[in-house]
A and B are shown apart, each in its own frame.
Chain A
Amino acid sequence: MSPAPVAPAPTSVARTRTRSRQASYLLASFLLLGTSLALGMLVGSRGLTPWSVLELLRGSATAETRAILVELRLPRTVVAALAGGSLAVAGAVMQAHLRNPLADPGLLGVSAGAAVAVVLAIALLGVSTPDGYRWFAFAGAAAGAVLVTAFGLLGSSRRDSSPATLVLAGSAVTAFLSAVTGLVLLLDAATLDAFRFWTVGSLGAVRGIDQLAPVLPFLVAGLLLALAQSGTLDALVLGDDVARGLGRRLGPARLSGLAAVTLLVGSAVSIAGSIGFVGLVVPHAVRRLTGPGHTWLLPQCAVLGAALVVVADVAGRVLVHPDELPVGIVLGVVGAPLFLAILVRTARGR
């Protein structure tokens, strides 16, 4: 896969969109997110009336209602939102750094690293709960990114890890890690049974908001780091030479980009399992709304990525009632056609 420009230079389109229009888009996105969060609290496989939330707030809800809303729906909705926002922002950062519209967090070995760590934790240590997977997923994601970065730096003649080198290193490391994962799963059906639950990004196992606390600092750090790079990302999209000409130091920029992606994706997979398509589809869709400038693109990705995963989770709760569909499967089923539609529309628009 050869790198290609992510989008036209920020100057051509972004200027046509005024600050107030961008702000109104963002406000609309927040309203959408608010609606999806409300749905996340109100809709589920156990039918509850909208009044149940009011009863909860007044303190008159039944123990069952309280347990469903506080212990199940609230944490899984928050996890869905945080994971979706993180993955979408990570996708936008990746696409800018690699100047590749097909880049997603999986390309840097982050997802494959998390997967292999979870598989080894299950197979060798008998870890069997999402709580147990959490830090293995995070460590695996970080290890995958470090490996790719190291090979990317080694393979780059300018010591600034060019996008092409990173993509190639990412592909190779991902292939290797996926092979290890495949080998373990092939040799051990019991591990496959446990792993498939993680790999489809199920939020059904999320219990209690306190599970988020250990991961939250990493996620916030990743988000802040990404947002702080928006100017650099605008420059990187124009090409390495232009970015260098604009005074950007490519090596540190790439490293901080990779750090942001690792923190965001590591946090997301550790709380929600492996969720695909968000990092790929959301930045594409949002770029059509905001233009390529990352000052607005990144916050919009965070908000709409969050809304998308929450809505997908809500859909998964009711589609196969009384059972549930994992959010990763819903996103795969919806995300693939959506991505194809965007591709077709983009191609026709050229």
Chain B
Amino acid sequence: MISPQAARRLATLAPLPLLVALLAACGPGSTDDGAVETRAVDTVIGQVDVPLEIDSVVVLEGRRDLDIALALDLPLVGYPYEGPDSGLDLPGPLADELAASGAEELFLADEVDVEAIAEVAPSLIIGRLEDVEPIREELEAIAPVLPVSTFDDGVTWQQDLTTIAEATGTSERAEELLAEYDARLAEVRETHASRIADTSVVALGYDLAGTEVEAGRLQSLVLADLGAVPAAALREAYDEDAGEGLGFSPEQTLQTYQDAEALLVLADTEDEWAAAQEDPLFAQLPAVRAGAVVRSDKMTHEGGPLTALHVLDLVEQMYGLV
């Protein structure tokens, strides 16, 4: 039996469902008329309903996600940028495409700003899984989120490209990009066939604390795709499968890379590159003495089809110096 007081409270609350319904009706795409048509996509974070019409895209990490968005010609409106303290002085592999996109720098790399993303109200967010997970709910309140991965997680850029393309209705473009990469790979392979077969190579990271080789970095993956002969350190890194890569102290520079006949050196800043030139052990490396060295930086550690093509250019340049 309901008491009179309880009945009065219920009567007071009675209009609430109606009020909620009215308020909800003000939200985007929730009325029958304005409903956004979506495509359900299965991802590692579950099913994501991606709008069929994508007006604007924001990316979170700035390498694989940005590359794929640009390569698939998605309407990019915002992306993270590297601050001056990163010291990067080489032009990024996506610089031209970014300039052409007219997209806006939204926040510092590794400092995802949800409010800045909300302000541009994208219809889709693409981001690296590890960036998405901690703020997934906040991001999903703004727009559907499509995760991309990294090779360290066992997912190639080709797989991510295909997944994002399927989700955004751009599979045809993705096929073109994959074919373009394969064709360029074949071209480099053919042009430098004998050098590729005879020259041991390695992509190494250089800074003042030492050097490192990582099998999961895009440069190492492109070398593997090409069928390059890995120098001992790269071979060990491929075998290691540790994800973290192999680190070597400054003392071991000559010993570690002595067998490499060509180097792709990843030095992020001009200072680090200058330090490498002054490093007496680095200077004694056979590849350095032969001048078979090409520099790149961390912006080519990860990426998608555009960065992979850029790395292929660097690799071709490297073989050209042998």
Contact = CB atoms under 8 A, between A and B. Distances in A.
Given A204-B249, A322-B248, A126 B85 contact: yes
A45 B251 CA distance: 7
B86 A190 contact: yes
A71 B280 contact: yes
| A contacts with B: majority SS | helix
B123 to A, nearest CB: 28
B249 A46 contact: yes
A208 to B, nearest CB: 9
A122 interface: yes
A322 B247 contact: yes
Contacts of B251: 44-46, 68, 72-73, 317
Interface string A93-124: 00000000000000000000000000000111
A202 to B, nearest CB: 6
Given A64-B281, A67-B281, A189-B108, A323 B247 contact: yes
A324 interface: yes
Interface string A39-83: 000001110000000000000000110111001110000000000
Given A317-B249, A322-B249, A63 B284 contact: yes
Nearest to B252: A46
Contacts of A122: 85
Nearest to A131: B271
Contacts of A187: 108, 111
Given A71-B280, A188-B108, A190-B110, A45 B85 contact: no
A197 interface: yes
A205 interface: yes
A323 B212 CA distance: 9
B24 interface: no
Interface extent on A, as a size class? 20 to 34
B119 interface: no
A128 interface: yes
A313 to B, nearest CB: 12
B238 to A, nearest CB: 17
A66 to B, nearest CB: 8
Given A128-B271, A188-B111, A197-B209, A204 B250 contact: yes
A182 to B, nearest CB: 15
A315 to B, nearest CB: 13
Contacts of A73: 251
B271 A45 contact: no
Given A46-B251, A68-B251, A190 B108 contact: yes
Nearest to A184: B85
Interface of B: 82-87, 108-111, 208-210, 246-252, 254-256, 269, 271-272, 275, 278-281, 284
Given A71-B281, A324-B249, 19 more contacts: A44-B249, A64-B281, A66-B280, A67-B281, A72-B281, A123-B85, A124-B85, A129-B272, A187-B111, A189-B108, A190-B82, A204-B249, A207-B208, A317-B249, A317-B251, A322-B246, A323-B248, A323-B249, A324-B209
Interface of A: 44-46, 63-64, 66-68, 71-73, 122-124, 126, 128-130, 132, 187-191, 194, 197, 202, 204-205, 207, 317, 322-324
The 6 closest A-B pairs by CB, nearest first: A205-B208, A323-B247, A67-B280, A189-B110, A46-B251, A45-B249
